């Protein structure tokens, strides 16, 4: 299984001004650095929790038709954009949405066959034959849990004050652990 980010989040879970207020920084001297730290904090926290925070689109590639129901990574799942497969001749086809159900309520979200449906009987190309594109995340930045935002603030503060350090404060992990998802 391979995952590819198709559309990155258009905003970060926490705003630059909030970080500057938290760190008690006035002026714009550190804006570029802090903007980078905000992105790094989100990426670290998302990777630790195996989640997506602000709306983003991902593509999962598989070598064969998966058994369904299939748990989709990067919860929470918002929707499935498409399910496509490529046959041995390189012809890409769309697996019609009427053939499957999307379960965004379960965590992680799932893709299941509609009643009486199954995968088509075709020979697939040997690698990355099935591609499932899906939208994940809590939605807008305002919907991201406060524990995540606090963990990000702690991460940013630590990196700002210790730019050469490679450790992460245990408080960051403590805040993130409760909602951590085991990778699918």
- The parent domain of residue 168 ranges over 14-53+143-177
The answer to whether residues 32 and 82 belong to one domain is: no
* pLDDT value of residue 182: 85
Q: What is the pLDDT of residue 183?
A: 77
pLDDT for 166 = 84
Closest alpha carbon to 129 in 33, 1, 29, 20: 1
Bridge partners, 64 (sequence order): none
- Given a cut of 70, the residues of the chain with pLDDT beneath it are 184
Q: Confirm whether 80 is domain-assigned.
A: yes
Same domain, 67 and 118: yes
The reported pLDDT for the residue numbered 184 is 62
**How many CA atoms within 13 Å lie on the side-chain side of 106?**
13
Tell me the pLDDT tens digit for each residue of 39-90.
999 999 999 999 999 999 999 999 999 999 999 999 999 999 999 999 999 9
Q: Are residues 169 and 120 in the same domain?
A: no
The DSSP annotation for 119-146 comes to: ----PBPSSS-EEEEEEESSBSGGGS-H
DSSP-assigned beta bridge partners for residue 83: 132
CA-nearest of 174, 137, 169 to 12 is: 137
């Amino acid at each position: 299984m391979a995952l590819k980010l198709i559309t990155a989040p258009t905003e970060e879970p926490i705003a630059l001004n909030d970080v500057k207020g938290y760190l008690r920084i006035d002026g714009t001297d550190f804006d570029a650095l802090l903007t980078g730290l905000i992105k790094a904090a989100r990426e670290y926290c998302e990777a630790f929790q195996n989640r997506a925070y602000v709306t983003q689109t991902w593509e999962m590639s598989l070598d064969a038709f998966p058994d369904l129901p299939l748990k989709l990574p990067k919860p929470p799942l918002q929707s499935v954009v498409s399910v496509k497969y490529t046959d041995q001749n390189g012809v890409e086809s769309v697996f019609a949405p009427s053939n499957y159900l999307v379960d965004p309520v379960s965590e992680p979200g799932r893709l299941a066959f509609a009643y009486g449906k199954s995968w088509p009987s075709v020979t697939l190309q040997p690698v990355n034959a099935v591609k499932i594109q899906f939208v994940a995340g809590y939605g807008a930045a305002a919907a991201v849990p406060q524990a995540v935002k606090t963990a990000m603030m702690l991460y940013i503060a630590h990196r700002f004050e210790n730019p050469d350090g490679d450790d992460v404060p245990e408080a960051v992990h403590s805040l993130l652990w409760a909602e951590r998802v085991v990778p699918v």
